Structure 1
Amino acid sequence: MSSRSNSTLKLTNRVANVSVLTSGVLKGGNQVTLTAMVSEKDQLVNGGKVIFKMNGVTLKDSNGNPLYANVENGIAKLNYTIPVGMSAKDYTLTAVYSNKFYDRAEVNSTVKILKTNTHIELNPQTYTKGTQTSIYARVLDENNNLISKTTSVCIKVNGKTMIHTTSINGIINATIDTSKFNNQLYNLTIISGENNGFGMSTTTTVLMKA
């Protein structure tokens, strides 16, 4: 007489190790290759995918879809453009690995975002004696795009502050009092202040009598 016993085979997922190879200093507007390495017991893993997060927020494309990188020969690479004007500070960069044969694995590293440099586009200006004068200028980033934030602006003539104003989305439109001006030429200086995403910039041109 024989007896039969039933047994259940339990399959467990494998365990992968993830490391982030991207570190250091980044800057808004620049493209960076985010890179992670996936291994198992010192052997590189094939298959699965990696998503990246900044301070816990998954990186997405312009349509709001999560970005991911496939793992090939243990390496996952994602080309990503750091948003212009992104607040300059330290961020936690997280790589999360997923694969149906492995447990979820993630690792954190730290990257630093620097302020984006700016410059001011200002052409020579003219004034008419006895009137107010409109001043127009543009504040641009390193890629010659208008900056995207409101920024404090100071306008000076021959070193004297004429007005404190703001640029909105990179555009400076201001009016200064030139009713008592009489010289043929003045030095016109514009200072664009820094904020949490963009650096300060200064430029000088001439203010000419019409």
Structure 2
Amino acid sequence: MKHDRLRRLALPLLTFLVSVVLLGIAIVSLVDFRREEPVTSSVGGPFTLTSQDGRTVTEKDLRGAPFLVFFGFTHCPDVCPTTLFEASELLRAAGSQGDKLRILFVTVDPERDTPEVMKSYLSAFDPRIIGLSGSPEAIAAIVKSYKVYARKVPTSDGYTMDHTAMVYLMDAKGRFVNGFDLKRAPDVAAKDLLSYL
């Protein structure tokens, strides 16, 4: 009789213990364990391009401070000038604290966007914005490493470019952090970017 009662208790007890173990496993798998180092990302990488001033710029030149990367082209009718204006406003809001910050504007249209064209175009924006161009092969390589969509679209008077409009946030070691929202108030966006210094 005692054995029957133990047997009847054993099954619910065993079921309870298995449930506790499974719940523990589920909780552990859902917990976001913060790492000291960000997870290595496959976005970004080495590049060698030319600035609007004719200087050679590589990813190594940007180490030591966070930077933003935006891909576009000088014949862009709306998205690119709007984004560059927002980037300029962020840098203005950052003031002297933002002297180390850099924003890269990388062309997806190397046929038309020579360093001279980029210099003229970017003269309307903050001087901390670096325009980068290069050979079609060099541009294709950075477009691929940042996983950017860019495609030439024929028009009645030539062509335009479809392209990714995301702004990439890279940390001080040149590693991809996330997309960066420039649509916020400039002081809010500046404070966010400065927090990565």
> TM-score, with normalisation over the residues of structure 2?
0.21
Structure with higher RCO (Cα < 8 A, 6+ apart): 2
More strand by share: 1
